[in-house]
């Protein structure tokens, strides 16, 4: 067994300190469980931030990766590969989009979407139409273009001047968006559920209103489904609950169940914006990642996991609402869609303390915003495991109540 203290000492010497990890080192996973170097088991209710949709070491994913690695792991995009073509066709069929560009991550997908929107107007002889309108509390990635679109100042402070032409308005305020969009606006970018911003679903009618606004003005609608896509909401895309079809769609996280891959998809009308040589990626769409994504799709269908996410999400959200009612001094409420749920803590409650107490009880969750506990478990999770998480959270909140009295 690996020596935990030795590994932590190496981490302290060699890793950039951009994260505040607890003194745990994970070595393996199985289903919805993770195991550390000391052999302790943890119920994983955040799945690598909504990434491991099939849980850990799912046999279908392991098999697909093993078989593909033995055939062809990587080939540059100077040539087609069979898995990339098959995945592109499936993505278009599932999303209603027409063309795909593969990336390695969500932030790269959003960068590509930004470039496409701006270059579209360049090809239409309107090169000054470069404005991008995003929303406050949003999160779109860490690279310079994506972080400029991110509506949370802490992510872009200290990195110099932001990308010009990018601005934010209040999330859910259609009138504010109408006032901001003008003849210099190229695109609106929006999350159907703000993940990092606090697991905040779009208000009823908001996404349809944005679609109508874009149709009226010629602005492209970019929908960021990096966290909400791949069945997490109870449909393949969260915008499908609202009947909205974007002009550009970005995906990543759960797309290949833990293998790095992202994609932006575009309607045919705008595809000509990115002609040969205008965009590229060395690793994007390589056979190994695409084979993993195809295995994820096949498993989602075979095991009914998207429909299950809707049912299990409703079950879990009801349980969170019950905890909010039981602990009103500590919890303001619960919200979410499918298996992306948040518990909103009272202003005086520090989320990190709850995360630590849950970890001590063998349950891993994440934080969104300042006061929201985020739950994004694997879609294979059972109701019994959800009950286990709820019971642990109830115990933590009960202990906090006792300590306060």
Residue 129 confidence class, pLDDT cut points 50, 70, 90: very high
CATH code assigned at 101? 3.40.640.10
Domain extent, residue 35, equals: 4-57+304-404
- 295 and 308, same domain (yes or no): no
Same domain, 225 and 330: no
pLDDT by residue (tens digit) across 338-390?
999 999 999 999 999 999 999 999 999 999 998 999 999 999 999 999 999 99
207, 174 Cβ separation under 8 angstroms:
no
For the record, the structure tokens of 393 come out as: 């959270």
Confidence of residue 2 (pLDDT cuts 50, 70, 90): confident
Is the confidence at residue 263, as pLDDT, over 90?
Answer: yes
Report pLDDT digits (tens) over 283-341. Answer: 999 999 999 999 999 999 999 999 999 999 999 999 999 999 999 999 999 999 999 99
pLDDT band for position 1 (cuts 50, 70, 90):
low
270 and 328 assigned to the same domain:
no
As a whole number of angstroms, the distance between CA 34 and CA 328 comes to 31
Same domain as 129, residue 92:
yes
Residues forming the active site: 139, 224, 253
Q: Kindly tell me the burial class for residue 360, based on how many C-beta atoms sit within 10 Å of its own C-beta (0-12, 13-18, 19 or more).
A: exposed
Q: Are residues 243 and 178 part of one domain?
A: yes
Do residues 316 and 289 both lie within one domain? Answer: no
pLDDT at 241 over 60: yes
Separation between Cα atoms, residue 269 and residue 254, nearest integer Å:
27
Would 62 be classed as within a structural domain? no
Do 238 and 327 reside in the same domain of the chain? no
Q: Are residues 17 and 132 in the same domain?
A: no
383: number of Cβ within 10 Å: 13
- The rounded percent of the chain whose pLDDT value lies above 90 is 98
Q: Is residue 362, in this structure, part of any structural domain at all? A: yes
**Predicted pLDDT of residue 404:** 81
Pair of tokens at residue 339: 């298996």
What are the tens digits of pLDDT across the range 9-22?
999 999 999 999 99
Q: What percent of the chain has pLDDT over 70?
A: 100
At 336, which CATH number? 3.90.1150.10
CA angle 193, 135, 104 (to 5 degrees): 65
Does residue 63 lie within any of the structural domains?
no
CA distances from 225 to 19, 238, 272 (A): 24, 7, 23
pLDDT tops 60 at residue 266: yes
User: Given a cut of 70, is residue 175 above it in pLDDT?
Assistant: yes
Asked whether residue 216 falls in the same domain as residue 316, the answer is no
Cβ atoms of 377 and 339 closer than 8 Å: yes
Cα dihedral sign, 106-109-111-117: negative
Q: How many domains does the structure of the chain reveal?
A: 2
Task: Give the Cα separation of 269 and 264 in Å (integer).
Answer: 15
Do 291 and 158 have their domain in common? yes
Average pLDDT for 165-188: 98
Q: Taking residues 114-131, what's their average pLDDT?
A: 98
Rounded to an integer, the average pLDDT of 102-118 is 98
Residue 405 confidence (pLDDT): 76
- Where do the DSSP E strands lie in 262-371? 262-266, 331-337, 340-345, 363-364, 366-368
């Amino acid at each position: 067994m690996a020596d935990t203290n030795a590994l932590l000492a190496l981490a302290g010497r060699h890793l950039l300190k951009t994260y505040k990890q607890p003194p745990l080192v994970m070595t393996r996973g199985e289903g919805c469980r993770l195991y550390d170097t000391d052999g302790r088991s943890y119920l994983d209710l955040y799945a690598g931030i909504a990434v491991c949709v099939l849980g850990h070491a799912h046999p279908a994913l392991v098999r697909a990766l093993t078989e593909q690695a033995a055939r062809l792991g990587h080939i540059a995009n100077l040539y087609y590969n069979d898995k990339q073509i098959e995945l592109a066709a499936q993505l278009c069929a599932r999303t209603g989009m027409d063309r795909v560009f593969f990336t390695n991550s969500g932030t790269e997908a959003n960068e590509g979407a930004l470039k496409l929107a701006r270059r579209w107007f360049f090809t239409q002889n309107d090169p000054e139409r470069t404005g991008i309108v995003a929303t406050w509390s949003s999160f779109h990635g860490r690279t310079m273009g994506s972080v400029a679109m991110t509506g949370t100042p802490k992510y872009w402070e200290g990195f110099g001047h932001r990308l010009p032409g990018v601005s934010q308005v209040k999330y859910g305020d259609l009138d504010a968006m109408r006032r901001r969009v003008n003849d210099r606006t190229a695109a609106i970018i929006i999350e159907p559920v703000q993940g990092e911003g606090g697991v905040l679903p779009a208000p009823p009618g908001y996404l349809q209103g944005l679609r109508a606004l874009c149709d009226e003005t010629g602005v492209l609608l970019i929908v960021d489904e990096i966290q909400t896509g791949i069945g997490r909401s109870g449909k393949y895309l969260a915008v499908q609950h609202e009947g909205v079809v974007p002009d550009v769609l970005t995906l990543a996280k759960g797309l290949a169940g833990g293998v790095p891959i992202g994609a932006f998809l575009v309607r045919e009308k705008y595809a000509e914006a990115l002609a040969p040589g205008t965009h590229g990626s060395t690793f994007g769409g390589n056979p190994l990642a695409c084979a993993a994504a195809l295995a994820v799709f096949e498993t989602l269908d075979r095991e009914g996991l998207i429909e299950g996410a809707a049912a299990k999400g409703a079950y879990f959200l009801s349980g969170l609402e019950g905890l909010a009612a039981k602990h009103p001094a500590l919890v303001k409420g619960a919200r979410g869609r499918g298996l992306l749920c948040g518990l909103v803590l009272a202003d005086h409650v520090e989320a990190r303390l709850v995360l630590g107490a849950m970890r001590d009880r063998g349950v891993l969750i994440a934080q969104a915003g300042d006061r929201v506990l985020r739950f994004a478990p694997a879609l294979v999770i059972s109701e019994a495991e959800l009950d286990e998480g709820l019971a642990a959270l109830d115990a933590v909140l009960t202990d906090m109540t006792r300590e306060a009295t």
